[in-house]
Amino acid sequence: MPDRKIPQKHSNKIDMEAGTYWYCQCGESSDHPFCDGSHKGSGYSPLLVEIKEPTKVSWCGCVHSKNPPFCDHTHRDL
């Protein structure tokens, strides 16, 4: 698979409502951290994330976290 684009070198801290979300893992989405279908043909696929109750989420912005879709500060070493 090709190297993933690094959309940004910081997290996306977003107040989220309960629901189902698709996290972009290819780095090409124009709606990052959420999937917009840009992964098609890349070998990557989005990650299904279920938020059970309203909460603030620190989404990984670099798509290299060891704990996707959540930021683990891997971006500091990129």
User: Could you tell me what percent of the chain has a pLDDT over 90?
Assistant: 88
Decide if 64 is inside a domain.
yes
- Could you tell me if 11 and 65 are in contact, meaning their C-beta atoms sit under 8 angstroms apart? no
Decide if 67 is inside a domain.
yes
- Cα 65 to chain center, whole Å? 9
So what's the pLDDT on residue 33?
Answer: 96
Decide if 21 is inside a domain.
yes
Prediction pTM value: 0.91
Decide if 7 is inside a domain.
no
| Domain extent at residue 38 | 12-77
Decide if 30 is inside a domain.
yes
So what's the pLDDT on residue 2?
Answer: 66
- Could you tell me if 33 and 24 are in contact, meaning their C-beta atoms sit under 8 angstroms apart? yes
DSSP character at residue 77: G
Alpha carbons 57 and 3: distance in angstroms, whole number: 25
The total of structural domains in the chain comes to 1
Decide if 2 is inside a domain.
no
So what's the pLDDT on residue 32?
Answer: 93
Torsion of CA 7, 13, 19, 23, to 10 degrees: 20
